[in-house]
Chains A and B, each alone.
Chain A
Amino acid sequence: MSATTIVSLPDQATAQMPKRSYLNNEHGLLSWLLTADHKRIGMLYLLSITFFFFIGGAFAGLIRLELLTPQPDLVASDTYNKFFTMHGIVMIFLFLVPSVPATLGNFLLPIMIGAKDLAFPKINLLSWYLYMAGGIFTLASLVLGGVDTGWTFTTPLSTHYLNTHVLTTATAIFIAGFSSIFTGLNFIVTIHRMRAPGMTWFRMPLFCWSQYAASLLMVLGTPVLAIAIVLLALERLFGIGVFDPAKGGDPLLFQHLFWFYSHPAVYIMILPGMGVISEVISTFTRKRVFGYTAVAFSSVAIALFGFFVWAHHMFIMGVSNYSALVFSLLTMLVAVPSAIKIFNWAFTMQKGSITFETPMLYAFGFIGLFTIGGLTGIFLGSLGMDVHLTETYFVVAHFHFVMVGGMLMAFLAGIHFWWPKLTGRMYPESLSKLAAVVTFIGFNLTFLPQFVVGYLGMPRRYHAYPAEYQVLNVLSTAGATILGVGYMLPILYLGWSLKYGAIAGNNPWQATGLEWQIQSPPLTENFLETPIITHEAYDYEWLEEKMKLEKQEVTHVG
């Protein structure tokens, strides 16, 4: 197979908006609120998570503003606590966990495997409503006066010492958790039972594999979070002692239950993003992803290993030395499949015909930043290092590198990549490249200094700090401002493109996925007839053949 088939991008001047599509199939607000179409539900999610992203972002801005100076001058300490709690809860549970699966996954997964919809369309809609209910409870707790436990709900702080809206927020997360369970369940059943004829497991795009792995985590992990929250709520409401040492309970049990979900949850957040990166890199290097099988299985391996490392969040919390040691070793294991992916993407790009469209810029951002995030994870996983670094800004920098530098970049890569499919319109190319670069610069300026300041010993979750840390904090706040601009830009130009963007046509990137072989935006029923799949994923030669045939047909008819 020639690795470097160069396919010139098609002339889009002649492309036309299709008359009928999922967007104009039915009209009116109700047709959206009661829809069972996975594409419309994906769009509902896209709107709602964007809304919550900006709420979470506003709190991030407030936190950085307070940290501009060493003195506690902007807000009182308990207000500050409420800021970072709301920031964490909104960003994790209402933005990152649903980000790629519920939007792009919902929209694309059925199309990619040649199905007309997810297996349970109504449950899919239900999960959006659950998400919204969770969001409303979160907003309620915010309006009623906030909550200041941190997103980790640490006991006994959350059960005994705080007089804020812990129960409202706990309810929010309980409900939002079921939204995530149902999404995962729907995806797994869909991938098992709804694949089109010929779409074998190893012909699926890697995006589907990563959604599958993330869904496994959602289905197996989230119920444990749910029960941990129920127990926490009961303890707070009725003062019963499962987590209360005074009554014979053990706060560490809460930590175990919480992190049994929340460590796998970090992979719920990153795996779908890794799927996006595989698609983008293959398309813009015009090569099959190197080591397809290894990349596919590494997703599943991450999902499995992810369940055996949770106690690395608890090294200093009084777990036994023996178990700390074991968990430290196991943590090293989970880095292996992550590294496999990075290496395989790098090999995919080697000698590929790379083009630098916006999604690809974001994908580069992802690879660089995720690698730094993952490597610092190894630092933290090493028992000795972690005792020094835990609860400092080093941890904050680590998880922002993976979650923001990694996942958010992947999300934006995916949104740009599939925007033509979602809406039928192109985004403005140069402006979006600018946004990608601004985001990258802003991100590094914000979070690189935090590694340093954390290593020097600045603890997280305080609103005042010794004056010697100020320079690094000012840099970080300045970076956050730039980052903010980087995130505002896409909102503006993507909104603009809905009306004024160039018409995209079916396959503006000349990509091989099934979703690119149908019209953009797609019909409500996706395919006019069930496709029969005869080629592997990322088979650019197949695509070339197909295009030749299509051209001939056109000349015949003409």
Chain B
Amino acid sequence: MPREHAVHDEHDEHHSLPQLRHHFETEEQQREAGSFGMWLFLLTEIMFFGGMFMAYLLYRNWYYPAFAAASNQLNVPLGAINTAILITSGFFMALGVWAAEVRKKSTLVLMLVLTAVFGLAFLGVKSDEYYEKYEKHHIPGNSFNISEFVNPPINAKTGKPTEEPLMPDMAQKTQVFFFLYFAMTGMHAFHMIIGLFLLVWLIWRAQRGDFTSGYVAPIENFGLYWHFVDIVWLFLFPLLYLINRHPFK
């Protein structure tokens, strides 16, 4: 197909990018369409996660004691470390967008690599947490073990149970919590994995210099996506790990 914009360009002195697609009139239009599309896509993502948040709020309301007890089994230090890791990753991503805008190629590549490294670190910590759940038989299904919630371990010093014991009926409901925990954090991790694949591709293109000659839209849009995934975690962490966390007296 003939690149029509080349014809238009003779009239305005403004030199258009090779990345300008033929069906857009101007670069600005292309850039705006791209970021508008990305925002809309994120809106669909909110609706997608919204279904699970809905389920979480509903069941938390119904099975409050089970949710509190199960929530206490999550590893808060690891969760906090992961939150810090993710925020750092997001910080480097923001610097990456800046580097693309001021056309610093090597800085851009470095920032994207750092973003990816911290993203990977997050997934590493996450899988360690998943493994811990596996060892404690906290993965919902046939091997799920409720004994710990019915007969919590006894604190040697005080001679009292470390947690409020639950009736077997309510203890069963901890499964619902763990299911939602895996579904929500799993779906979040899945988004990060997709993001990491995209990052590899962007890094490869960035070191070719694709994004440091004025064409920054892909970096900006990916940045939006990456920050969105961060924000989902910023909701998940307090909801799953922290809410109503209090030591049993």
Tell me the A residues contacting B by CB distance below 8 Å. 115-117, 119-121, 181, 185-186, 188-190, 192-194, 219-224, 226-228, 230-231, 234, 238-242, 247-250, 253, 256-257, 524-525, 530
> With the chains together, A248 CA to B171 CA distance in Å?
10
Asked if B194 lies at the interface with its beta carbon under 8 angstroms from chain A, I say no
From known contacts A185-B37, A248-B63, infer whether A238 and B141 are also in contact, taking CB-CB under 8 Å. yes
Q: Among the listed A192, A223, A226, A242, which residue makes an inter-chain contact with B179, where contact means beta carbons less than 8 Å apart?
A: A242
Are B172 and A193 in contact, CB atoms less than 8 angstroms apart? no
Question: In the complex, which residue of chain A has the Cβ closest to the Cβ of B56?
Answer: A242
Are B23 and A227 in contact, CB atoms less than 8 angstroms apart? no
Are A239 and B29 in contact, CB atoms less than 8 angstroms apart? no
Are A231 and B176 in contact, CB atoms less than 8 angstroms apart? no
Asked if B50 lies at the interface with its beta carbon under 8 angstroms from chain A, I say yes
Are B48 and A226 in contact, CB atoms less than 8 angstroms apart? yes
Task: Please give, as numbers and ranges, the residues of chain A lying within 8 Å of B179 by CB-CB distance.
Answer: 234, 240-242
> With the chains together, A241 CA to B49 CA distance in Å?
18
Task: Please give, as numbers and ranges, the residues of chain B lying within 8 Å of A194 by CB-CB distance.
Answer: 23-24, 29, 33
Asked if B47 lies at the interface with its beta carbon under 8 angstroms from chain A, I say yes
Chain B min CB distance to A30 (Å): 15
Interface segment, B11-19, B38-46, B104-112, B229-237? B38-46
Task: Please give, as numbers and ranges, the residues of chain B lying within 8 Å of A249 by CB-CB distance.
Answer: 59, 176
Are B176 and A193 in contact, CB atoms less than 8 angstroms apart? no
24 contacts across the A-B interface (CB closer than 8 A):
A116-B22, A116-B23, A181-B44, A185-B44, A186-B37, A193-B29, A194-B29, A219-B40, A219-B44, A223-B47, A223-B50, A224-B47, A224-B48, A227-B51, A228-B51, A240-B141, A242-B55, A242-B179, A242-B180, A248-B63, A248-B172, A248-B173, A248-B176, A525-B22
> With the chains together, A121 CA to B30 CA distance in Å?
12
A116-B22, A120-B37, A234-B183 given. 17 additional CB < 8 A pairs? A116-B23, A120-B33, A189-B37, A192-B33, A192-B36, A193-B29, A219-B43, A220-B47, A230-B183, A231-B55, A239-B141, A240-B141, A241-B179, A247-B176, A248-B172, A256-B54, A257-B51
Chain B min CB distance to A176 (Å): 15
> With the chains together, A238 CA to B63 CA distance in Å?
21
Chain B min CB distance to A221 (Å): 8
> With the chains together, A242 CA to B33 CA distance in Å?
39
Report, nearest first, the 10 A-B pairs whose CB atoms are least far apart. A227-B51, A223-B48, A117-B23, A116-B23, A223-B47, A248-B173, A240-B179, A193-B33, A119-B33, A223-B44
Task: Please give, as numbers and ranges, the residues of chain A lying within 8 Å of B141 by CB-CB distance.
Answer: 238-240
Q: Among the listed B25, B40, B66, B142, which residue makes an inter-chain contact with A185, where contact means beta carbons less than 8 Å apart?
A: B40
Task: Please give, as numbers and ranges, the residues of chain B lying within 8 Å of A241 by CB-CB distance.
Answer: 140, 175-176, 179
Task: Please give, as numbers and ranges, the residues of chain A lying within 8 Å of B58 by CB-CB distance.
Answer: 250, 253
Asked if B156 lies at the interface with its beta carbon under 8 angstroms from chain A, I say no
Q: Among the listed A185, A220, A242, which residue makes an inter-chain contact with B176, where contact means beta carbons less than 8 Å apart?
A: A242
> With the chains together, A190 CA to B51 CA distance in Å?
28
Question: In the complex, which residue of chain B has the Cβ closest to the Cβ of A256?
Answer: B54
Chain A min CB distance to B12 (Å): 14
Question: In the complex, which residue of chain B has the Cβ closest to the Cβ of A219?
Answer: B44
Q: Among the interface residues A190, A224, A227, which one has the most CB atoms of the partner chain B within 10 A?
A: A227
From known contacts A117-B23, A239-B142, A241-B176, infer whether A185 and B32 are also in contact, taking CB-CB under 8 Å. no
Task: Please give, as numbers and ranges, the residues of chain A lying within 8 Å of B175 by CB-CB distance.
Answer: 240-241, 247-248
Q: Among the listed B22, B51, B176, which residue makes an inter-chain contact with A224, where contact means beta carbons less than 8 Å apart?
A: B51
Asked if B4 lies at the interface with its beta carbon under 8 angstroms from chain A, I say yes
Question: In the complex, which residue of chain A has the Cβ closest to the Cβ of B187?
Answer: A230
Are A193 and B43 in contact, CB atoms less than 8 angstroms apart? no
Are B140 and A238 in contact, CB atoms less than 8 angstroms apart? yes
Chain B min CB distance to A180 (Å): 11
Chain A min CB distance to B182 (Å): 8
Chain B min CB distance to A258 (Å): 10
Task: Please give, as numbers and ranges, the residues of chain A lying within 8 Å of B50 by CB-CB distance.
Answer: 223-224, 227
Task: Please give, as numbers and ranges, the residues of chain B lying within 8 Å of A257 by CB-CB distance.
Answer: 51, 54
Within 8 A of A (CB), among B141-182: 141-142, 172-173, 175-176, 179-180
Chain A min CB distance to B1 (Å): 7
